Amino acid sequence: MKLYADRQDRLIRQIVFDALVAIWVIAWARAGWAVYRHTVAAESGARDLSAGGERLRTQMGNAARAVDGVPLVGGKLKEPFVQAQGAGSSMTNAGHQLGDTIETLGRVLGSLTAGIPIAIALLIWALVRLPYVRRASRARSLTRTPGGMDLLAFDALRSATPRELAGVGDERVDGWRRRDPETIEALARLRLRALGLQLEELP
């Protein structure tokens, strides 16, 4: 697989582009993490609510058991404490549910904050870089394949501009058809130059 060009000018552009994409991804990943942390910071209030409910439930339970032993009126005195104990349990459950909701919200907001810009950047990177990788890898492979020079020359005939082809000579098409070695090599070199590959890679 050929990820980068050999020519220095194109290689630098590719490296700079990849570095910018990487910086973009890292920056938005950090932003998403920051959004998550700031969101779940509100979870401390939910934990306080849950802890307060648990304390209320425990204290009211203890009080209910204490007054239950009072002769004659113990059962009536116990009822308000039992109800308060139930309210404490409700507070505890509400605190847990609120904490879970805040945690989920933080994950969603953090993922959206980071995910959308990162996905866009990776899509642009794939559209820009992957076609080059495919073409350059194929060209590199053809230089080492029997008959590959002919295919590279044919690619040059299809993709090069008339001005670029003019440097090969007026009989370039006929030379390619006649399998003239010099014409085929010149066209193949032209195709490699267009991809930023070093001419020395030709056998």
pLDDT string in tens for the chain (203-residue length): 888 888 888 899 999 999 999 999 999 999 999 999 888 887 776 676 677 767 766 776 666 666 666 665 555 666 776 676 666 677 777 777 777 788 888 889 999 999 999 999 999 999 999 999 999 888 888 888 887 888 888 888 888 777 777 766 666 666 766 777 777 778 888 888 888 887 654 44
What was the pLDDT predicted at 68? 60
Predicted TM-score (pTM) of the model is 0.70
Contacts of 146 (CB under 8 A, 6+ apart): none
DSSP state string for the chain = ---S-SSHHHHHHHHHHHHHHHHHHHHHHHHHHHHHHHHHTTHHHHHHHHHHHHHHHHHHHHHHHHHTTSTTTHHHHHHHHHHHHHHHHHHHHHHHHHHHHHHHHHHHHHHHHHHHHHHHHHHHHHHHHHHHHHHHHHHHHHTTSTTHHHHHHHHHHHHS-HHHHHTT-TTHHHHHHTT-HHHHHHHHHHHHHHTT--GGG--
